[in-house]
């Protein structure tokens, strides 16, 4: 089946450092790709998405490019802030086990801590 | 705008007791609804999804069940909780058939003692 692999971390950075969180996927067909962010004690928020090869999703200074040739969707930010501290999940759209509905398949999440 | 609610926010229940968690969505109709569980390792496990009233699909055999009595209401239940049912339960909805992203509620923290 389809799967998502992301660096598990934890990742600890100083404020204003450059961030990369790697995400690779295995999929049949052409899934849509997503990054979600989860702040402590909260639900997941959609951060950005890309629906086809070479698409770049961006939001709040974060970017990720859908690379079909390398099956990757790495998350980047040029200058992180303390408020970016959270768990980040990479995900892809996937058919459910019965093939009748779409679900999301998630990576295991990467904990990011940004120190002042 | 659309909003998703979950309650209760936190719950502490003894082993063997029943469970009922509720999720409601406002501002949309006929959403696809999903229940996930997030255990201590942070990964998300899809438990159930529903494409309409009374239609429930289970992804993984569980000590849990789900129901959708109304278009925008999704309920997660158990007759007898196990210690292993502890976790963070998240409800999510999908807006329309042409987009695949899901939008999550604030979650319910369940501790089974």
pLDDT in tens, B68-77: 999 999 999 9
CA nearest B81: which of B68, B109, B62?
Answer: B62
> Which pair of structure tokens corresponds to residue A71?
């099956």
Task: In whole angstroms, give the CA distance from residue B50 to residue B70.
Answer: 11
Task: In whole angstroms, give the CA distance from residue B82 to residue B60.
Answer: 16
Task: Check pLDDT > 90 for residue B82.
Answer: yes
Write a three-state SS string for chain B: CCEEEEECCEEEECCCCCEEEEEEEECCCCCEEEEEEECCCCCEEEEEEEEECCEEEECCCCCCEEEEEECCEEEEEECCCCHHHCEEEEEEEECCCCCCCEEECCCEEEEEC
Best B41, B60, B87, B102 member to test A by mutation, with max A CBs in 10 Å, is B102
Task: In whole angstroms, give the CA distance from residue A72 to residue A24.
Answer: 4
Tell me what percent of the residues of chain B surpass a pLDDT of 90.
72
Task: Check pLDDT > 70 for residue B46.
Answer: yes
What is the pLDDT at residue A80? Answer: 97
Best B39, B51, B96, B101 member to test A by mutation, with max A CBs in 10 Å, is B101
**A46 and B101 in contact by Cβ < 8 A?**
yes
What is the pLDDT at residue A9? Answer: 85
Select the residue of B32, B41, B90 nearest A43 (Cβ to Cβ): B90
> Which pair of structure tokens corresponds to residue B6?
């979950």
**A34 and B105 in contact by Cβ < 8 A?**
no
Average pLDDT (B2-22) is 96
Select the residue of A43, A49, A104 nearest B107 (Cβ to Cβ): A43
User: Across the A/B interface, how many CB contacts are shorter than 8 Å?
Assistant: 57
The ranges of chain A with pLDDT < 50 are none
> Which pair of structure tokens corresponds to residue B107?
């979650």
What is the pLDDT at residue A100? Answer: 58
Nearest-Cα residue of chain B relative to residue A35: B101
The helix (run of H) or strand (run of E) holding residue A111 is: strand A110-115
Distance (Å) from the alpha carbon of A108 to chain B's nearest alpha carbon: 4
- What residues have CB less than 8 Å from A47, skipping those under 6 apart? A34, A35, A36, A37, A59, A60, A62, A75, A88
Chain A residues closer than 8 Å to B44 by CB: 44, 89, 106
What is the pLDDT at residue B39? Answer: 84
Task: Check pLDDT > 90 for residue B2.
Answer: no
Interface membership of A83 toward B (CB under 8 Å): no
- How far CA B14 is from CA of B11, B78, B86, B91, B113, in Å, comes to 10, 12, 11, 23, 5
Average pLDDT, chain B: 91
What is the pLDDT at residue A95? Answer: 63
Neighbours of B79 (CB within 10 A): 11
What is the pLDDT at residue B59? Answer: 83
What is the pLDDT at residue A23? Answer: 97
What is the pLDDT at residue A33? Answer: 94
> Which pair of structure tokens corresponds to residue A11?
């990742």
What is the pLDDT at residue B98? Answer: 72
Instruction: Give the tens place of pLDDT for each residue, B53-64.
Output: 999 988 886 789
Task: Check pLDDT > 60 for residue B7.
Answer: yes
Place of tokens 């501290």: A85
Give burial (CB, 10 Å; 0-12/13-18/19+) of B3.
exposed
Task: Check pLDDT > 80 for residue B40.
Answer: no
Interface membership of A6 toward B (CB under 8 Å): no
What is the pLDDT at residue A8? Answer: 83
Chain A residues closer than 8 Å to B105 by CB: 43
């Amino acid at each position: 089946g389809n799967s998502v692999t992301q660096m598990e971390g934890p990742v600890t950075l100083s404020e204003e450092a450059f961030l990369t969180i790697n995400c690779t996927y295995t999929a049949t067909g052409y899934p849509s790709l997503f990054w979600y962010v989860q702040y402590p004690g909260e639900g997941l928020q959609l951060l950005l998405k890309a629906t086809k090869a070479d698409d770049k999703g961006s939001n709040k200074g974060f970017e990720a490019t859908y690379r079909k040739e390398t099956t990757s969707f790495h998350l980047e930010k040029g200058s992180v802030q303390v408020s970016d501290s959270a768990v980040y999940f990479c995900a892809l759209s996937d058919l459910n086990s019965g093939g009748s509905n779409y679900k999301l398949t998630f990576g295991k999440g990467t904990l990011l801590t940004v120190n002042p | 705008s659309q909003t998703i609610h979950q309650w209760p926010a936190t719950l502490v229940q003894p082993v063997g007791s029943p469970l009922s968690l509720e999720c409601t969505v406002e501002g949309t109709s006929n959403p696809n609804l999903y229940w996930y569980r997030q255990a201590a390792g942070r990964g998300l496990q899809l438990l159930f999804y529903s494409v309409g009233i009374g239609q429930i699909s289970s992804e993984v055999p569980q000590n849990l069940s789900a129901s959708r009595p109304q278009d925008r209401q999704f309920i997660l239940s158990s007759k007898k909780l196990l210690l292993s049912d502890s976790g963070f339960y998240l409800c999510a909805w999908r807006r329309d058939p042409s987009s695949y992203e899901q939008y999550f509620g604030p979650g319910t923290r369940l501790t089974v003692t």
